Structure 1
């Protein structure tokens, strides 16, 4: 049974990286459009601690970036964690030749720089998305808007797997409560027996 649960947890982690927030296909040289050029790479910078607006960027790194990398294995993605809570929480997006129109507008409004982001190549243009004080879902919406990423919907089989894992989690919780109640009842019974034995010993001493 233990091995079964270990296997199910492993399967759940595989499913979780395939679907959910961040599961999307970035534009490639073959799928790029005039509005959304190909994405050549990404760089994320944020502070190690969550205060001063870095919480969303950290959650984006934990929840979204693994899925994005899974679906775009050929796109390099680098991360820089800093100790500077006053520093930027930023995602630098590298485009082939030119930035998308939403990216150009975002960059013009933000006027943000990130010294930790690698310099773009001769054939690259960059746009920096300000992530400070944003929830990771808000960050993901901005990333989709800027890059033109297409979300990968969960298949019927994957949705069924997620539902099954949730049912297992709920059943596991009920089992823990039931086992805890059995153990507590056993302890209570042993305690009552000890008290009863003590009373018997007292009567014998009279």
Structure 2
């Protein structure tokens, strides 16, 4: 590997590890502000965990495993607003699909929206509904915010940990509302509210 290729790979890791997670966290905050009933369920779950801890205790892996509803909220967020809008793939061997011959070397653009918004796999696909992740897992290769197969994101478990720890700390301390109710979404490397999702934080009164 030459210096340019090394630098390119390092930049890809930095962007993949930062922009994607910050985008996911931003949209978690957005949806929790828009759906008070979902926020209240997340708060209930996170406060049960908080009350089980001592004043100086940190979260541990057992606590993360208890955040089942919170993780469903994250997964529904990732379904509607996957941090990676897609990527180019190159066909490595000739194959036939649905009567069409796809030649080796053909470049295609893959996007998770192709299944995330497909009513066959996710009924009423535009609706924000964390309960769709209760029970059985989605059909394989239909929910793919981290990709799938041999190229699945190696940081997916780290991302889960990072997002849930963030949720715990912010939800147990604050409620919030959006400063710009109808803020538009733009797409750069990841989807992001055009003004960065300014919010009004309201500390809980215990």
Give the greater-gyration-radius structure (CA): 1
| Same-fold call, TM cutoff 0.5 | no
Greater share of helix residues, 1 or 2?
Answer: 1
